[in-house]
Amino acid sequence: MNKITLDHGSGGKLTLELIETVFKAKNGLDSAIIEDIAFTTDSHSINPLFFKGGNIGKLSVSGTVNDLLCVGARPLYLSSAFIIEAGFDMEKLEKIVESMTKEAENANVKIVCGDTKVVENGKCDGVYINTSGIGKIIKPIDGQGVKDKDVVIVSGTVGDHGFAILNERENLNLSSSLKSDVSNLTHLLVPLIESELDIKFIRDPTRGGLAMCLNELCYNRDFGVEIYEEGIPTREDVRVMSEILGIEPYYSANEGKVVIVSSKEDADKALHILKQSELGKNAAIIGKITKDNPKKVVLHTKFDTKRILKMPIADKMPRIC
Amino acid sequence: MNKITLDHGSGGKLTLELIETVFKAKNGLDSAIIEDIAFTTDSHSINPLFFKGGNIGKLSVSGTVNDLLCVGARPLYLSSAFIIEAGFDMEKLEKIVESMTKEAENANVKIVCGDTKVVENGKCDGVYINTSGIGKIIKPIDGQGVKDKDVVIVSGTVGDHGFAILNERENLNLSSSLKSDVSNLTHLLVPLIESELDIKFIRDPTRGGLAMCLNELCYNRDFGVEIYEEGIPTREDVRVMSEILGIEPYYSANEGKVVIVSSKEDADKALHILKQSELGKNAAIIGKITKDNPKKVVLHTKFDTKRILKMPIADKMPRIC
């Protein structure tokens, strides 16, 4: 009999297939757009619960806020539902809730409803948190208008979250300063969405990283993506870890970054707006949409060669969000 | 150090205290009311996943739909987020999703967004499902207008769900026909909410049963509740199980019933509307609001004695939803 595997939940191709076949969901957006309302949900099961740069509470608020922003909405209201393992420390729970409150305040959203379930020891991994969210559409952004010659921008260094979690979970000690980039992006993205610029696509490259995000962008479309390694912002320690572990930063999750596609004409102005925010100070144009390689993501390497960045079958790092 | 226990998640007094102290939530409603929008969330971790009358999928859709109805909203959109244990049968997952689709259709709601996470074997109990929901307020119902002499109605037999789950989980074989009452109540409640009747309170007595529900109704208020055992609809097999197990049906969960408080004048008309629906055919007036015993729920027994139905510290049956 067919069984669910960890790979089905990794955010790669197998997750996409599960969603299409079992859940019959097709539009590929993380938030639903209902008239002028955006609605989204995310469950978080990260291990470890506390990590450099944040914890599962901050992650769950940021993740849901960012999913609303990605369809062009101003995030407004969140729910939070906890599944807690019996025996879990009350103090840790309080810390997680405090982080959620703080991140919600920072993101200008209100947590308005919740739920609490407790399960036996060994039926959970400390705490799982679901956050669902409602936002008001400022300008609907669904990727449908993306076309040849549009420009691809990333809002900062890629791969930080995935490598930070791996470094900590596996006690690799490969970097002392690397931390997760987990953050809500309200202050980075609302000005961009409110601008008159022609912004066609915004997506947070979480599970499966930049490679998954760009592959989803051109999945079943008549265009492809070309990106240039030279221009992709990457931390030095992430690059080093990447080489040691044999996992490219493009496949590693981010929790405080977005990929943006704008018209060619508006790309520089979009970049300018992003750079006004501390969260976007490393933003960069990394490539373009092209008709030359439909459905494919082509990476131009530093050595002036080209190769295809395939859609990952499964993330190499499970339980990172 | 203080630890979370199963009792913290049982839906009784300890859950209420956890919600008040750690989550700082106060209003006591399961759904938030934001202008003309209702928003709610529920995570489900029931054991067993499949039971007589339904499964975790049907339960998760019904539960969220019913929470929206309880604040006077027409349920419209749901999210569904799965946490799945690695090794779970794909076929079972498909059955659960089918039940959700069917129940959503029956309730006239659309499942518009979702999320899927997979965790290692031993970090879940098959499947946990979070469903959050959005509804449009027809008439806000928040219990604030409840006052002396108002009438308390229950929409059908009490305790079915809790005893059905217990019978099955513990292989008690105490009833062959008992099944969970799990059901969405859209068709029962929308006509009542849309009517001109003075409906002041609607609540689904899930965890902690009728006793918890009525105790929450008069929690920190200047009135109490009096109910009459004679009038409370209860299945014969539930009564028998109740005596054998020493658990009163008033403390056992329901997943397809509501408690309603209406003005004295409108009680008979409300009962009439409920009885039009198959889901409300056993609806009955069970008691009244009174100033005589503020903050307390008093049960008039069949033997003409009185006793207080206390707020349960913890449900005696964990993991029933």
- Map out the domains of chain A as residue ranges: 31-137, 151-308
For residue A76, the model assigns a pLDDT of 98
B31-137 is classed CATH 3.30.1330.10:
yes
Which residues make beta-bridge pairs with B225? B289, B297
The percentage of chain A sitting over the pLDDT mark of 90, rounded to a whole number, equals 88
**Which residues in chain A are closer than 8 Å to B30, comparing Cβ atoms?**
113
Pairing of strands A306-308, A297-300: antiparallel
Q: Could you tell me how far CA A24 lies from the centroid of its own chain?
A: 22
* Phi-psi label, residue B159: left if phi above 0, alpha if psi -120 to 50, beta otherwise: left
**Which residues in chain A are closer than 8 Å to B41, comparing Cβ atoms?**
79-81, 113-115, 130, 132
Res. B12: pLDDT tops 80: yes
Q: Residue B90 is nearest to which of A3, A42, A80, comparing CB atoms?
A: A3
pLDDT digits (tens, 9 = 90+) for B220-271: 999 999 999 999 999 999 999 999 999 999 999 999 999 999 999 999 999 9
Q: Residue B9 is nearest to which of A25, A79, A84, comparing CB atoms?
A: A84
**Which residues in chain B are closer than 8 Å to A39, comparing Cβ atoms?**
77, 79, 112-113, 134
Q: A206 with A253: CB under 8 angstroms?
A: yes
pLDDT digits (tens, 9 = 90+) for A265-313: 999 999 999 999 999 999 999 999 999 999 999 999 999 999 999 999 8
What is the distance in angstroms between the Cα of B21 and the nearest Cα belonging to chain A? 9
What is the distance in angstroms between the Cα of B211 and the nearest Cα belonging to chain A? 19
pTM: 0.96
**Region of poorest pLDDT, from A26-35, A112-121, A281-290:** A26-35
Residues belonging to chain A: 321
Q: How confident is the model at residue A30 (pLDDT cuts 50, 70, 90)?
A: confident
Q: How confident is the model at residue B314 (pLDDT cuts 50, 70, 90)?
A: confident
Say whether B8 and A118 touch across the interface (CB within 8 A). yes
Provide the CATH topology of domain A151-308: Phosphoribosyl-aminoimidazole Synthetase; Chain A, domain 2 (3.90.650)
Say whether B77 and A39 touch across the interface (CB within 8 A). yes
| Other CB atoms within 10 A of residue A266 CB | 18
Alpha-carbon distance of A312 to A316, in angstroms, equals 9
Say whether B2 and A87 touch across the interface (CB within 8 A). no
Q: ipTM, 2 decimals?
A: 0.95
The percentage of chain B sitting over the pLDDT mark of 90, rounded to a whole number, equals 87
- B28: nearest CA in chain A? A113
Say whether A114 and B25 touch across the interface (CB within 8 A). yes
Which residue, A321, A296, A293, A299, is CA-closest to A311? A296
**Which residues in chain B are closer than 8 Å to A18, comparing Cβ atoms?**
116
For residue B1, the model assigns a pLDDT of 65
What are the E-state strand segments in A60-186? 73-85, 110-119, 127-137, 151-154
For residue B58, the model assigns a pLDDT of 98
Which residues make beta-bridge pairs with B260? B153, B202
What are the E-state strand segments in A16-121? 31-34, 37-44, 50-51, 54-55, 73-85, 110-119
**Which residues in chain A are closer than 8 Å to B16, comparing Cβ atoms?**
none
For residue A70, the model assigns a pLDDT of 98
For residue A10, the model assigns a pLDDT of 84
**Which residues in chain B are closer than 8 Å to A90, comparing Cβ atoms?**
1-4, 22
Say whether A4 and B84 touch across the interface (CB within 8 A). yes
What number is the average pLDDT over the span B139-168?
A: 96
For residue B270, the model assigns a pLDDT of 98
Structure tokens at A194: 């409110």
Structure tokens at A17: 């297939």
What is the distance in angstroms between the Cα of A309 and the nearest Cα belonging to chain B? 24
Between chain A and chain B, the number of residue pairs with CB atoms below 8 A apart is 224
- A84: nearest CA in chain B? B4
Alpha-carbon distance of A143 to A104, in angstroms, equals 27
DSSP B93-147: HHHHHHHHHHHHHHTT-EEEEEEEEEE-TTSSSSEEEEEEEEEEESS---STT--
Say whether A132 and B79 touch across the interface (CB within 8 A). yes
Q: Residue A80 — φ and ψ, nearest 5°?
A: -140, 125
What is the distance in angstroms between the Cα of B41 and the nearest Cα belonging to chain A? 6
Run of H or E including B300: strand B297-300
Alpha-carbon distance of A148 to B309, in angstroms, equals 69
For residue A1, the model assigns a pLDDT of 65
What is the distance in angstroms between the Cα of B213 and the nearest Cα belonging to chain A? 16
Q: Could you tell me how far CA A106 lies from the centroid of its own chain?
A: 18
In chain B, which residue ranges form alpha helices assigned H by DSSP?
13-21, 56-69, 90-106, 160-169, 186-194, 209-217, 236-245, 267-275
Say whether B112 and A8 touch across the interface (CB within 8 A). no
CA dihedral A304, A306, A312, A318 (to 10 degrees): -10
pLDDT digits (tens, 9 = 90+) for A80-100: 999 999 999 999 999 999 999
| Other CB atoms within 10 A of residue B110 CB | 14
